[in-house]
């Protein structure tokens, strides 16, 4: 992973080059993580989820409609660098991160709801992620210019998201349905190992560009922290406004605030040639939301115990 930069050029001209071997490892890591999550999902979970259509509606509304729209409004107000702005839109367009399930459980949220919403969000993100990225990105002129230069191919984007999220999700659920005991045994090993591999991969990639990361991190520090905290608040109070109980509100908050930064990075490397501002923002998001999610889950968990 090499970063081509020059102090005299704009941050939007910086390009991060991720070698093909690293890109394949990132692909495989995300697919395996999704497969591990799917091994814990039963078809009955969807049946229970759709019995309460309000929860499904609130989850989709918060994550795939309100968050991208609110992100767009924030961009109009803040006016960040174009590639940072597109990075924010990319993150908002991604489905929830898989660690949201763990944090929901820690926070005293509805664990079954969290897993079910993650699965459902993964299915609809195959269409919603490309749509939100293209729609909101084209609405803001500076990011629209970037979209024009990369010639984003919807079909290729759909194929990639389906391959690394859709297929592992369906495969894991099929194994869970027909070979439940095997699924449980595999899940115990697969989930922690795949998460460790993914974290190591991100850390190695960042360590190879440590000087660049420390030089430019101040540009995205405020944007990521603000965006992430705002997403948590948006999810919680959206659920609250629809009369959901506190347990479900925590879950919707986690599903909205913990976004799949790994998928965002993969799409940035695959379709935007590792555009520096986008990659920097997505990489820091992937690290930051683990810490923020852990902090929020710990706070809510202790509050529940008291």
Domain ranges of the chain: 21-300
Instruction: With cut-offs at 50, 70 and 90, classify the pLDDT of residue 2.
Output: very low
Give the lowest-confidence range in 75-84, 135-144, 278-287: 278-287
Binned at pLDDT 50, 70 and 90, residue 13 comes out as low
Q: Residue 197: which of 16, 26, 19, 37 has the closest Cα?
A: 26
- The fold adopted by the segment(s) 21-300 is Na+/H+ antiporter like fold (1.20.1530)
pTM of structure: 0.81
Q: pLDDT tier at 168 (50, 70, 90 boundaries)? A: confident
pLDDT digits (tens, 9 = 90+) for 243-252: 999 989 999 9
* SS3 call for 214: helix
- Higher-scoring residue by pLDDT: 292, 161: 292
Provide the pairing of β-strand 15-17 with 2-4: antiparallel
> 272 versus 70: which is more confidently predicted?
70
- Is residue 244 within 8 A of residue 55, CB to CB? The reply is yes
Mean pLDDT of 90-102: 82
**% the chain with pLDDT above 70:** 81
């Amino acid at each position: 992973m090499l970063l081509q930069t020059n102090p005299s050029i704009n941050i939007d001209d910086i390009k991060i080059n991720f070698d093909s071997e690293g890109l394949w490892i990132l692909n495989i890591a995300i697919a395996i993580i999704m497969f591990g999550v799917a091994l814990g999902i039963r078809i009955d979970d969807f049946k229970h989820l759709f019995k309460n259509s309000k929860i499904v509606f609130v989850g989709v509304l918060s994550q795939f409609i309100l968050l991208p729209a609110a992100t767009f409004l924030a961009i109009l107000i803040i006016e960040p660098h174009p590639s940072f702005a597109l990075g924010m839109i990319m993150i908002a367009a991604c489905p929830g991160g898989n660690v949201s399930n763990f944090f929901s459980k820690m926070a005293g949220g509805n664990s079954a709801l969290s897993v079910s919403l993650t699965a459902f969000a993964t299915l609809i993100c195959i269409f919603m992620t490309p749509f939100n990225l293209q729609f909101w990105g084209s609405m803001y002129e500076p990011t629209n210019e970037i979209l024009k230069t990369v010639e984003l191919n919807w079909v290729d984007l759909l194929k990639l998201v389906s391959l690394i999220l859709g297929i592992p999700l369906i495969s894991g659920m099929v194994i869970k349905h027909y070979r439940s005991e095997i699924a449980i045994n595999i899940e115990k090993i697969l989930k922690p190992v795949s998460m460790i591999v993914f974290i190591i991969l991100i850390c190695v990639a960042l360590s190879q560009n440590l000087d660049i990361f420390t030089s430019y991190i101040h540009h995205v520090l405020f944007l990521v922290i603000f965006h992430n905290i705002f997403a948590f608040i948006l999810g919680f109070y959206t659920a609250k406004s629809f009369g959901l109980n506190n347990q479900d509100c925590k879950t919707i908050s986690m599903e909205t605030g913990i976004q799949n930064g790994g998928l965002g990075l993969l799409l940035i490397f695959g379709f935007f040639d590792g555009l520096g501002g986008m990659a920097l923002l997505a990489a820091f998001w992937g690290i930051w939301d683990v810490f923020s999610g852990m902090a929020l889950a710990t706070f809510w968990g202790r509050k529940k115990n008291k």
